[in-house]
Amino acid sequence: MDVTLLAYTPEPEKTVAAAARLCYSPLSGSELLEHLDEEQVQEFLTRLISQGHESPFEHASFTFSIDGVSRALSHQLVRHRIASFSQKSQRYVTEDGFAYVMPPSIASNKEHKHAFEQLMYEIMRQYSAFLSSGIPAEDARFILPNATATNLMLTMNARSLHNFFRLRCCRRAQAEIRQLAQLMLTEVKKVAPGLFTKAGPSCIAEGICHEGKMTCGQMQVPMRDR
């Protein structure tokens, strides 16, 4: 898995702070951006985060390149609706000899790992046979597994990212998408540390666990029953 932050709103923290200040100021957005200093920006971010007032966060967006993840992960990812996605098409890009993602729970067992690899090989062989016989890629792809590796680009605003991190950095999240969330969080903290200072699973972001009886039990925080 490879995650790269490709682009983001210039001065994302200052943009968010200006948007929040605008609601209570006679000044324009451009004037606020010009006059806000770093100390004021961080004060605004701290206040917004502590109050749970996240709507100004929507003015900062971040675009990621995500490579070498499974189609199983991408199916989970698109459930986060306030985002933009572009993904490698299995209709227009053939998957001869496709790369695949093997879950650690399978890779750690020699017998299961061998069975998994044999199954991938058989699917590759049959997929290639379909293409050779004239079946279009858009139909041959029906036999491809969720393990098939894919590449995509993802854009989310900071508010959606906070929600994504609360859900997907949790120990209860599936392993691959949890790894993705942690890598994305590392990337955005490099360019906007104040904006994501408390980002992470709900036990860190909110000080409460939403998993009820399904909690991992690792964080000593109150639990909210579902």
- DSSP, res 85: E
The region, left, alpha or beta by phi > 0 then psi within -120 to 50, assigned to residue 144 is: beta
What is the C-alpha separation between 24 and 33, in angstroms, rounded? 14
Choose, from 81, 166, 168, 171, the residue flagged as catalytic. Answer: 168
SS3 180: helix
What is the C-alpha separation between 146 and 122, in angstroms, rounded? 15
What is the C-alpha separation between 97 and 140, in angstroms, rounded? 13
Active-site residue flag, 168: yes
Strand partners, 64: 5, 154
What is the C-alpha separation between 66 and 181, in angstroms, rounded? 11
CA nearest neighbour of 40 among 226, 206, 194: 194
Measure Cα distances from 82 to 85, 97, 106, 112, 215 in Å: 10, 34, 33, 38, 26
What is the C-alpha separation between 123 and 135, in angstroms, rounded? 15
Which residue numbers are catalytic? 168
